[in-house]
């Protein structure tokens, strides 16, 4: 009986190993595909190249940024035609490259900007470049905000969401200094508030009692559930309704 148990154990271990290798191979292939796509279109300009321009009479609001923006469902009710221009995996440098194609050409009355975490998470891989990564992130965010303002939009700058629970398998490749960098950049973003620039403190809504994202709002350490976005929209929608851009007579889209 002991011999049979050992054989069954070996078979089970082999099966687990085969499944793990298949999953790793698929993950590696996805990573390679993503890397190739970035090399072919570094700024992601082709993603929305064929998208039609909004034509309804409401002022246009562009929800702009990375995967966190791409997953964000439109806040409602708001006096805007919401156009989502979020692209997964993008850093602030890539998002900055898209301002003209994905924001300016839509003549938005308002922009909700969510970006930064894809820069800051690289600190775990390049700790010796921390200062440069943070400085570049802040410079890009400032430039994006200013470009949107120059385009005539009121900019709602979303604080970088706090980091959620980091999976056990990722911890050897992780650093809690990323959380510290998120707080640092959020302090910088608060300083951008001013003429036609408004800060939306996402973490005041998302965080629980211990200063991290509530478990019910986490898909993984970076991304939110629909409940998380619903909670955000509960605070964002009234803010958008209060913007001067919401009643600007010339903000009728392209």
- The pLDDT of residue 254 is 38
Whether 50 maps to a domain, the answer reads: no
pLDDT digits (tens, 9 = 90+) for 54-82: 666 899 999 999 999 999 999 999 999 99
* H or E element at residue 249: none
**DSSP codes of every residue in 31-48:** HHHHHHHHHHSTT-TTTT
Whether 76 maps to a domain, the answer reads: yes
Structure tokens belonging to residue 198: 């408004």
Domain identity same for 238 and 153: yes
Greater pLDDT, 10 or 195: 195
pLDDT at 42 over 60: yes
User: Which range in 12-21, 85-94, 203-212 is most confidently predicted, on average pLDDT?
Assistant: 85-94
Domain identity same for 76 and 180: yes
How does residue 253 score in pLDDT terms, banded at 50, 70 and 90? very low
Domain identity same for 11 and 134: no
pLDDT at 32 over 60: no
Domain identity same for 180 and 137: yes
Domain identity same for 65 and 17: no
How does residue 166 score in pLDDT terms, banded at 50, 70 and 90? very high
Domain identity same for 71 and 197: yes
CATH number, residue 183: 3.40.50.1110
Average model confidence (pLDDT) across the chain = 88
Structure tokens belonging to residue 146: 């200013």
Domain identity same for 87 and 134: yes
Q: C-alpha 157: how far from its chain's center?
A: 12
Domain identity same for 91 and 160: yes
Whether 149 maps to a domain, the answer reads: yes
């Amino acid at each position: 009986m002991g011999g049979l148990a050992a054989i069954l154990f070996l078979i089970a271990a082999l099966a687990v190993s085969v499944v793990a290798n298949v999953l790793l191979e698929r993950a590696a292939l996805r990573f390679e595909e993503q890397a190739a796509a970035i090399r072919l279109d570094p700024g992601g300009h082709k993603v929305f190249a064929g998208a039609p321009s909004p034509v309804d009479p409401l002022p246009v609001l562009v929800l702009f940024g990375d995967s966190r923006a791409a997953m964000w469902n439109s806040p409602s009710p708001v006096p805007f035609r919401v156009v989502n221009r979020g692209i997964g995996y993008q850093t602030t440098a890539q998002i900055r490259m898209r301002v003209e194609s994905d924001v300016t050409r839509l003549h938005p009355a308002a922009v909700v900007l969510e970006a930064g975490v894809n820069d800051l998470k690289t600190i775990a891989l390049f700790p010796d470049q921390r200062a440069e990564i943070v400085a570049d992130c802040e410079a890009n965010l400032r430039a994006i905000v200013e470009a949107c303002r120059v385009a005539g939009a009121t900019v709602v700058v979303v604080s970088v969401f706090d980091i959620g629970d980091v999976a056990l398998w990722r911890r050897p490749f992780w650093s809690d200094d990323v959380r510290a960098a998120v707080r640092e950049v959020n302090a910088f973003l608060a300083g951008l508030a001013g003429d036609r620039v408004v800060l939306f403190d996402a973490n005041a809504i998302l965080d629980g009692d211990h200063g991290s994202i509530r478990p019910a709002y986490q898909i993984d350490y970076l991304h939110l559930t629909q409940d998380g976005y619903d909670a955000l929209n509960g605070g964002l929608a009234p803010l958008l309704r209060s913007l001067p851009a919401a009643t600007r007579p010339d903000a009728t889209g392209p």
